[in-house]
């Protein structure tokens, strides 16, 4: 990594979180829609719990695919800084290459990346989010360590690599279901407002990547697998929601370097 070099990437990344898929499979979007269309009262505690579980899971990791674009600039001495936009998330990174293939045939590097996001959920989950006054913001810090074997001098024809990644996530959230009532357990009670809450969890996983191209432009394919124990989330009118599972993150894109 030389001072002043520019590296960019555009592509797509998918997200397959087992916790959210399971929650949607149990509750379904129909459950979320049914609760959101309940006017000012809720009378099915099981349906409500399934719907809220799906909404919280969707806020943490929503299945689907997002466009991604990034730009990194070399600082010299193996360091570079960069910005990445992925879906609704903004990320900033500092990278350091601590092994060079010029000496031992392998490149190795690490990074510290910070990202944050808050957004409205799609479809019926978004209707439920507005109905319950659910707001959330997610902040992530991730640290990957990647080893790669270049093809050709300075990776002229691409490379193949693998690595480990660890992360820490903080979620701030709250509920304000103004004017809503629950009717179960023999009582009619107002659904309480919950003050802002915070929760944090760690992620652990592996990553694999392969690049193929020539000199300045490469096609890049990647696959990251993470395990996440999201912990417990307080919700109004029912017991805390606990979630955990794996996230599968395939990616494809075009990388260029100047």
Check whether 185 has a pLDDT greater than 80. no
Please name each of the domains of the chain with its CATH number: 6-169+191-226+243-257 (2.40.160)
Q: Which tokens is 192 given?
A: 């309480």
Helix, strand, coil shares of the chain, percent, nearest 5, are: 20, 60, 20
Q: Which tokens is 253 given?
A: 């894109």
pLDDT of residue 27: 67
The confidence band for 26, taking pLDDT boundaries of 50, 70 and 90, is confident
Task: Dump the DSSP string for 50-77.
Answer: HHHHHHHHHHH--SEEEEEEEEEEEEET
pLDDT of residue 224: 97
The confidence band for 248, taking pLDDT boundaries of 50, 70 and 90, is very high
Task: Write the pLDDT tens digit of every residue in 86-130.
Answer: 988 899 999 999 998 887 889 999 999 999 988 788 888 888 898
> What is the pTM assigned to this prediction?
0.88
Give the DSSP H or E segment for 130.
Answer: helix 123-132
Average pLDDT, the chain: 90
- Rounded to a whole number of angstroms, the distance between the first and last alpha carbons of the chain is 11
């Amino acid at each position: 990594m030389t001072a002043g070099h520019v590296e960019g990437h555009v592509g797509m990344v998918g997200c397959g979180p087992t916790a959210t898929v399971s929650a949607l499979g149990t509750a379904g979007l129909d459950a979320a829609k049914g609760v959101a269309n309940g006017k000012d009262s809720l009378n099915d505690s099981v349906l409500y719990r399934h719907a809220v579980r799906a909404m919280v899971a969707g806020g943490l990791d929503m299945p689907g695919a997002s466009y991604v674009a990034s730009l990194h600039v070399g600082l010299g001495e193996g360091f570079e800084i960069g910005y990445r936009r992925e879906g609704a998330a903004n990320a900033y990174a500092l990278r350091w290459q601590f092994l060079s293939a010029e000496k031992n045939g392998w490149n190795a590097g690490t990074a510290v990346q910070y990202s944050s996001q808050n957004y409205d959920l799609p479809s019926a989950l978004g209707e439920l989010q507005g109905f319950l006054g659910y707001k959330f913001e997610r902040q992530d810090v991730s640290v990957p360590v990647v080893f790669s074997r270049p093809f050709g001098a300075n990776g002229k024809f691409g490379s193949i690599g693998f690595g480990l990644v660890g992360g820490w996530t903080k979620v701030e959230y709250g509920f304000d279901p103004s004017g809503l009532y629950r009717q179960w357990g023999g009582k009619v009670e107002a659904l309480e407002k919950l003050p802002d809450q915070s929760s944090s969890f760690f992620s652990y996983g592996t990553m694999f990547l392969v690049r193929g191209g020539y000199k300045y432009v490469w096609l890049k394919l990647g696959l990251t697998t993470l395990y996440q124990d999201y912990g417990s989330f307080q919700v109004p009118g029912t017991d805390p929601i606990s979630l955990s599972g794996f996230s599968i993150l395939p990616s494809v894109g075009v990388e260029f370097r100047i």
